[in-house]
Amino acid sequence: EPIEENLEDLKRTVIKEGADLGVATDGDADRLGIVDNEGRYLTPHQVFSLLLLYLVEKKNLRGGIVKTVSLGYQPERIAREFNLSLDEVPVGFKYVCDKMQEKDILFGGEESGGYGFRGYLMERDGILSGLLFLEMITRIGSPLSAILKHMEDRFGASFFKRIDFAEAKVNKPEMIKKLSSPPYSTLGGIPIRRTKTIDGVKFFMEDDSWLLIRPSGTEPKVRVYAEASSQSQLDRIIEEGVKMAREAI
């Protein structure tokens, strides 16, 4: 799986070789992990947003966007900037594919590192996604670290964390009910603007930070996701989120 904890060798190799980019896939090459020229692992939120911005701004493509509920706010801001429709679906690339069949979707993705593109397979492809990163840095003519900084200067920084913990028996409807009622008013000291329950419970704060709590659909685990504009804010939200999840089981 091309996640940060499995890519330490790649990060070191990028620095040692002075490489422009590190690309990793999982065993069947449908998911992608990216390391920039400074040896820094990019989260799937950053990868999705960089690909989206490249497609619409540099390749001048247009169409709808679809992302799973566990992806964050940068794509929403980019979609608003370019007047693109954006759909949010439950976790699982099958839901992304369903939406790509229903509508004129340019680009879709999920938090586990899978991305799909219009005019190609309606499925994840880590190799094509990696090739687009090579094209991106060549066409723009800047290091990936600089491209990322430019994007985050425009659309905000992203700090993300996911914590999983084992839980053999979870009553999903009851857990969602407990998390939703009575409603929480703040998270990390920030007022909650709204919630969404298409897959677990997702809390949206007034500053666009968010928290998602959902039982896994494939393993006996509960997953807690959060994204914020600073590491300190992220730490506060994820700590509260884990506590909320444990209390709701």
> Per residue in 47-96, pLDDT tens?
999 999 999 999 999 999 999 999 999 999 999 999 999 999 999 999 99
CB 107 within 8 A of CB 63: yes
Which residues touch 232 (CB under 8 Å, ≥6 apart)?
A: none
Which residues touch 109 (CB under 8 Å, ≥6 apart)?
A: 44, 48, 51, 66, 67, 68, 71, 96, 115, 116
Nearest C-alpha neighbor of 109 from the set 39, 31, 196, 33: 31
Report the C-alpha gap between 128 and 150 in whole angstroms: 23
Supply the DSSP symbol for 122. S
> Per residue in 160-206, pLDDT tens?
999 999 987 888 889 999 998 877 899 999 999 999 999 999 999 99
In this predicted structure, what is the pLDDT of residue 181?
82
CATH number of 4-155: 3.40.120.10
* CATH 2.60.120.1130 given to domain 159-248: no
**122 falls in which pLDDT band (50, 70, 90)?**
confident
Q: Where in the chain is the domain with CATH 3.40.120.10?
A: 4-155
**215 falls in which pLDDT band (50, 70, 90)?**
very high
CA distances from 101 to 10, 60, 245 (A): 36, 22, 34
**27 falls in which pLDDT band (50, 70, 90)?**
very high
Report the C-alpha gap between 63 and 80 in whole angstroms: 13
Place of tokens 């070789």: 17
